Amino acid sequence: MYTLEELSDFLGIAFSGKAGRRISGLASLSAAGPDQLAFLASRKYEEQLLSTTAGAVIVAPALADRCPVDHLIAEDPYLCFARVSGLFSKAPEPAPGIHPAATVDNAADVHSSASIAANAVIEAGVVIAADVVIGANVYIGHGCRIGEGSRIYPNAVLNHGVTVGKYCTIHSQAVLGADGFGFAPGPAGWEKIHQLGGVTLGDRVEIGACSTVDRGAIDDTVVEDGAIIDNLVQIAHNCRIGKNTAIAGCAGLAGSTIIGANCTLAGGVGVVGHVEICDNVHVTGMTMVTKSITEPGSYSSGTPMTATRDWKRNAVRFAQLDSIQRRLTRLEKQRDE
């Protein structure tokens, strides 16, 4: 429970209305009640503002006059909404200390302010910094280093030699440091190339649930500061993900692919191995990236959804496209003659 004035102070922005108004939670503009805070980030929802029953709304200066209720005035309402969201989180905050059911090797170095939950297994040589939270059933392999304030959710796995920076979040079932998929064809089948590198995450990296970041073949696989990765994403060995790049769910990157800074890969994007994507690239959902991208901008592939009946007809024609093009060229030539 915060007053409007407290929220104004916390965000460092002005407010208009009753300083002592008590806000107990967040809600959407259309659903918020008198003790809830909403926000308006897009002109698209301006109409909802006029009829809102929220206790207060975070609005841009240009809309402040039209706001029928108390409000906080923000240059970037969405960002301010993000910043207050943590105040209202009900996520449990585990107490420092090592749960008696955890298995921590004597040769691991665990900061006294860190929290290690039941059944976590921490191997020799691990260094866990201040304020780290290790969830239940987490495995931290030999020689891993977890930076200050990072949180590893239940059942995640960090195999040996993984380095996690400060204030990172690793969600449940994520796997850092499984073997890269490296095999050489031999006379008796595939021969495994032992993966000798590790995984290095910068600071403030987020890795989603059931996502995998494989260890490098020789050097490390790297995710740079501030990169955020959603659920069920595959980052293969020796990829490098640039600073503040965001990768949405179900995307997959093949080996040795380099993604620049401030990129956004939408859901289901696939990137082949050994290509490079420059900074500030956006790739739309389910696009197949088969070559390097050297210019910032938005890139896409795929075909639009239609009724299956129509799709079937058009899909058949796709397989005739080259012939269609050649027939067209022939007609043009005949016209020109």
Find the binding residues for a copy of itself in span 116-175 (CB under 8 A): 117-119, 121, 123, 135-137, 139, 141-142, 153-155, 157, 159-161, 169, 171-173, 175
Burial of 165 per CB tally in 10 Å (0-12, 13-18, 19+) = buried
Catalytic residue among 99, 237, 274, 282: 237
In the complex with a copy of itself, which residue's Cβ is closer, 8 or 169? 169
Tokens of 85: 């969201």
Q: Please report, as residue ranges, which positions from 233 to 262 form the binding site for a copy of itself (by CB under 8 A).
A: 234, 236, 243-244, 246, 248-250, 252, 254
As measured in angstroms, the least distance from the Cβ of 18 to a copy of itself is 23
Determine the interface stretch with a copy of itself among 7-15, 57-65, 126-134, 232-240 (rule: CB under 8 A): 232-240
Distances (CA, A) of 198 to 171, 215, 245, 257: 19, 5, 21, 16
Length of the chain counted residue by residue? 337
Helices (H), 118-259: none
Q: What is the dihedral of CA 293, 296, 298, 300, to 10 degrees?
A: 0
Closest CA to 71 of 38, 117, 28, 105: 38
Task: Please give the single-letter amino acid code of residue 320.
Answer: Q
Tell me the Ramachandran region of residue 299: left when phi exceeds 0, alpha when psi lies from -120 to 50, beta otherwise.
beta
Closest CA to 96 of 133, 43, 69: 133
Q: Please report, as residue ranges, which positions from 35 to 54 form the binding site for a copy of itself (by CB under 8 A).
A: none
Closest CA to 9 of 80, 85, 86, 77: 80
Helices (H), 164-295: none
Q: Please report, as residue ranges, which positions from 286 to 305 form the binding site for a copy of itself (by CB under 8 A).
A: 286-291, 297-305
Q: Please report, as residue ranges, which positions from 66 to 105 form the binding site for a copy of itself (by CB under 8 A).
A: 76, 78-79, 81-83, 85-86, 88-92, 99, 101, 103
The answer to whether residue 111 is catalytic is no
Determine the interface stretch with a copy of itself among 2-10, 51-59, 64-72, 308-316 (rule: CB under 8 A): 308-316
Using CB under 8 A as the binding rule, whether residue 280 contacts a copy of itself is answered as no
In the complex with a copy of itself, which residue's Cβ is closer, 68 or 297? 297
Using CB under 8 A as the binding rule, whether residue 5 contacts a copy of itself is answered as no
Using CB under 8 A as the binding rule, whether residue 285 contacts a copy of itself is answered as yes
In the complex with a copy of itself, which residue's Cβ is closer, 132 or 232? 232
As measured in angstroms, the least distance from the Cβ of 60 to a copy of itself is 14
